[in-house]
A and B are shown apart, each in its own frame.
Chain A
Amino acid sequence: MEKFHSESIGATNVENLQFNVPIRRMRRTLLGTVPVESPLYSFHPVTRFFSLILLGVAPLFIDTPELNVLWIMLILLLMIYGRVDMSRLKIYVPLIFTVALFMFSIAILLPGEDPTYIPFKFMGITIYYQRIFWALVSYVRVMALLFGSIQYFLTNRETDMLVSLQTLKVPFPVTYFVGLSIRGADMFMQDMKTIREAERARGLDEGSLAFKDRAKLYAMYMIPLFTLAIRRADEIGNALFVRGYTFAGEVLGGGKRTSTVMNLYQFKVRDTFLCALQVGLFVTMAILQLKFSQFRIDHSPLNAYFLSILT
């Protein structure tokens, strides 16, 4: 039984693969995949949208790194509960390392001057404690924000997003515009794939290019992308015209616009409760930090511990 060497799906026995049946049953979305079934789907899209606001924004209020790490762990648990394909997170690993490298390097190499900074030596280099701890704070916070957003996009389809916007009474032309942008982004990505193949067919070996040439290359993509976009814009415009769509989204026959898709979802009692809970939590955290400074570094046990060692 031979292993095959495809980078992204790992060692798998090719013989067991069935034609046109993906290994994991997932639904494709613009940014990746979402599970076919998930306990999270029983919640209204608005409830899940609020989770994006809470989980993906609230870490801005938290300085203490321990709390943000806990935050991240909760998010990971939520994703596991939601039946997310956790192997999808592998693509974020390079990002996680790069950001860490960048932030900590800056903290070490460009500490700035502040008389309150406590220096210590590590492997022969002088590092300023407060600077590096602050780098840790920022890094963990960025990761918490990132994961807070990722969990939303790995458990929600585009239609969920638009339904939540419609439920929140965002005007139809705006939500339709968002939808059209998503569709446009998808077509854009498909075109990019083909254009890159076409480049390879003309002898372009991207891997062997110098950095400045690669930058020029991306500028060159503009020509085919714009050509395709212009031609498509015309077609899409005509398609909208024949469906009676006007720029302002008015209803031709007068009256209020029906939203067929919104009627597929029910807002249950637990949705009301969860939305209230999430909004309440968000506001509470904001107040606790902005008014009462509850999440500042001085409340961090880790910080206290390190300081006690150094002084």
Chain B
Amino acid sequence: MAPIIVLNNLFWQYEGQEDFALREICLKIEESSFTSIIGPNEAGKTTLVSCIRGLIPRSYHGILRGSIEVLGKNIADKTELELAKEIGFVFADPEAQFTAMTVLEELAFGMENIGFSLNEIKERLEWVTEMTNIQDLLDKSPFEISGGQKQRITIASMLALKPKIFILDEPTSMLDPLGKDQIINILTTLKEQEAMTLIVVEHNIEQIAPLSDQIVLMADGKVLKSDSPQDFFCDIEPLERLGIAVPHITSFASNLLDLGLYEPPLPLTIEQAIGPCRLILEQRGRE
């Protein structure tokens, strides 16, 4: 299967800044995969996903070099319509993304901008409200709902456009644990049920790593590493030095691995580690 997104030698420099925000980015993302992008702040993660969506260079001034290809076509050659229909984008702040007067209007806004008919809009509304469980909220105004609910609605409004690619930039960073769990549940559903390509920028590695097919590490405008989760956490020490919050369970098992007690692959969740650890604790001594 050909990759759905190809970044080739991508460079980007914001106007007025001395350094390049993105340098020599070469990255391929497979169709229907779940890619998470992690790394310290100011590493270029948001800049990278903004390039994929076409926000850069359309909304920002600067120097762009290299190419971004989405669905076989160069981003620069795509129309606004194509970009809006193919790529969904959710930001971190739920408040700034809710601009309508009721939930229903917010959900319909993107679809109205693209030009769907009333029947098409109604159909998609039904589908999307069920999937994100927001049927009771349709009539509410932004003053009557919480941040977590707003974020779910934002995701729903993007889903209604049925994009092939869905980018989420730190979707859980401003939410409480319940809100975080709800977003993770939606992402899990999307991964399992829809054939969407998902790209998630996150600091919340503990919850995102188990869902990922590919983890991309960025720092200083470059892609340092891009691997499947199992391979990604093979060498924990350099990650910890960069300040990456390696999931506790993975770090713990990695230590056991070094002591020869644990067999790869390293676990990403408690469920994955429980079995092997119980065995270790239950083994009789070799006497």
Chain A contacts to B: CB under 8 angstroms: 27-30, 157-159, 162, 179-180, 182-183, 186-187, 232, 235-246, 251-255, 257-261, 263-264
A27 touches B141 (CB 8 A): yes
Complex Cα distance A311/B116, Å? 74
Known: A159-B141, A252-B81, A263-B118. A258 touches B99 (CB 8 A): no
Residues of B with C-beta under 8 A to A252: 79-81, 84, 113-115
A241 touches B141 (CB 8 A): no
A-B contact pairs, 10 of them (CB 8 A): A29-B141, A180-B99, A235-B91, A242-B53, A244-B80, A246-B80, A253-B115, A257-B115, A261-B102, A264-B104
B89 close to chain A: CB less than 8 A: yes
Complex Cα distance A252/B116, Å? 10
B89 touches A242 (CB 8 A): yes
- Chain B CB count within 10 A is highest, among A157, A241, A242, for A242
Complex Cα distance A29/B143, Å? 7
B28 close to chain A: CB less than 8 A: no
The interface residues of chain B, by DSSP majority, are classed as: helix
- Cβ 8 A contact of A243, one of B59, B95, B110, B125: B110
Complex: chain B residue closest to A186, CB-CB: B143
A28 touches B118 (CB 8 A): no
List 5 tightest A-B contacts by C-beta distance, closest first: A253-B115, A244-B84, A235-B96, A260-B108, A244-B113
B43 to chain A, nearest CB (A): 19
A157 touches B112 (CB 8 A): no
The number of residues on chain B lying at the interface, defined by a beta carbon within 8 Å of a beta carbon of chain A, is 44
B93 touches A260 (CB 8 A): no
Residues of B with C-beta under 8 A to A245: 109, 113
Task: A235-B91, A244-B84, A252-B80 are known; give 19 further A-B pairs, CB within 8 A.
Answer: A179-B99, A179-B101, A235-B97, A237-B59, A238-B91, A239-B96, A239-B97, A241-B55, A241-B58, A242-B84, A242-B158, A243-B110, A244-B83, A244-B114, A254-B115, A258-B115, A260-B104, A260-B118, A264-B104
Residues of B with C-beta under 8 A to A243: 84, 109-110, 113, 157
